[in-house]
Amino acid sequence: MRKVLSLCWIWVLLWGSAGVAKERPLLDLVDVQGVRENQLVGYGLVVGLPGSGDRAQVKFAAQSLNNMLKQFGVQLDESSLPKSRNVAAVAVQATLPAMASPGQSIDVTIMSLGDAKSLHGGSLMLTPLRGVDGKVYALAQGNLVVGGMNASGANGSSVTINTPTAGIIPNGAIIERSVTDFFQTQSDVVLNLKQPNYQTARNIVNAVNQVFGPSVARAENWGKLVLSAPADPNSRNTFMSMLQDIRVREGAGRPRVVFNSRTGTVVINELVRVKPAAVTHGSLTITITETEGAVQPNAFAGGRTVPVQQSDVNIRQQRNNMMLWPEGTSLETIVQAINSLGATPAELMSILIALDNAGALEADLLVI
């Protein structure tokens, strides 16, 4: 048997007009403090499953079904909990939009908590959705839309497509309570930059003051801007609509190299440069060959045949010449040099990490 240790990676290089500063709508660059979404979560039961629900070993599903039946006047002995494969215990999640009002509907996501094989064909019973403060903000109910499917045979073979134990209910929850609107109660409008940058903060202040007059906007730091805004709700809405029309030139960001260790994807910004550096690269291949044989005794020796196994390990290392990169080497030159070395994305990342440790990489290195 022959085993060759190797790596298979995907290499993605993206570059374009990153070096050209572009004007973007102001509200695309910032988050407005007080205008935010809120996460909701709940626990419920999905019923109507065709025998693909939780098994009897999942006690909390049976207890939840028993508690639900008690609310409808059905009394069962606690020692004999209902054993139905048509029910599954699920977690329910939803996102409460900013400034949402009671009566509006939102989408909900349902995920199995037990060992249900599939939620296809099920319907969620009325489930309260709570916020982090424990209060109920929405009620969810409805038929599930499941994008996966599971089929199994009597001999244990099965086929699964996508994820059959999770689904959604479009507009499946009705908002019952609104979140306190801190945006309208604040004396000022606070803008938080999505990508903190001193140049961007300065450009926003200049653009806002040019429209509304001096001293309307000020920067507290490179990521937080404070704007004096009208207190009247209607006037404040007009003020925000005018902010939405302002276009701002975004400041230049620091170059970045992103490496996804799970998929082997490498993304390099066009602005990446290196300081003077000498680089060499070598690949190592390990080949293991296993041979099975036997030791045969001589005739009439009275012995027995003994199986033996022999392993042959071969290590081959590729040698490459050292390459010199002058200061300010561009992305195109780096890519051509790496390709000439025959390096894979994983090996490219090793080179970039070594350059970063040596202080020769003029970019932020992010491994995810």
Please report the pLDDT score of residue 13 as a whole number.
39
CA distance 42 to 64: 13
Q: Which helix (H) or strand (E) holds 279?
A: strand 277-279
In this predicted structure, the answer to whether residue 328 has a pLDDT above a threshold of 70 is no
| Tens digits of residue pLDDT in 65-81 | 777 777 777 777 766 66
The DSSP call for residue 109 is E
Q: Which helix (H) or strand (E) holds 95?
A: strand 88-96
More confident residue, 253 or 287: 253
Give residue 63's region: left, alpha or beta (phi > 0; psi -120 to 50). alpha
**Sheet strands side by side (includes 256-260):** 265-268, 256-260, 364-367
**Contact residues for 281 (Cβ-Cβ < 8 A; gap 6+):** 320, 341, 342, 343, 347, 351
| Tens digits of residue pLDDT in 294-306 | 667 776 666 677 7
- Please state, in angstroms and as integers, the Cα–Cα distance from residue 192 to each residue in 29, 229, 242, following that order: 9, 16, 18
Q: Is 334 exposed, middle or buried (0-12, 13-18, 19+ CB in 10 A)?
A: buried
In this predicted structure, the answer to whether residue 172 has a pLDDT above a threshold of 90 is yes
The CATH T-level fold of domain 186-249 is: Alpha-Beta Plaits (3.30.70)
Helix axes 233-245, 198-212, angle to 10 degrees: 120
- Please state, in angstroms and as integers, the Cα–Cα distance from residue 149 to each residue in 50, 121, 338, following that order: 13, 10, 44
Q: What are phi and psi of 335, to 5 degrees?
A: -65, -45
| Tens digits of residue pLDDT in 229-267 | 888 888 888 888 898 888 998 877 677 777 776 666 777
Beta strand pairing call for 364-367 and 256-260: parallel
What mean pLDDT is reported for the chain?
A: 77
pLDDT band, residue 309 (cuts 50/70/90)? low
Weakest mean pLDDT among 12-16, 170-174, 272-276, 323-327: 12-16
Please state the rounded mean pLDDT for residues 269-292. Answer: 61
In this predicted structure, the answer to whether residue 290 has a pLDDT above a threshold of 60 is no
Percent of the chain with pLDDT over 90: 20
More confident residue, 150 or 138: 138
Please state the rounded mean pLDDT for residues 40-56. Answer: 87
- Per-domain residue ranges for the chain? 1-19+254-368, 38-175, 186-249
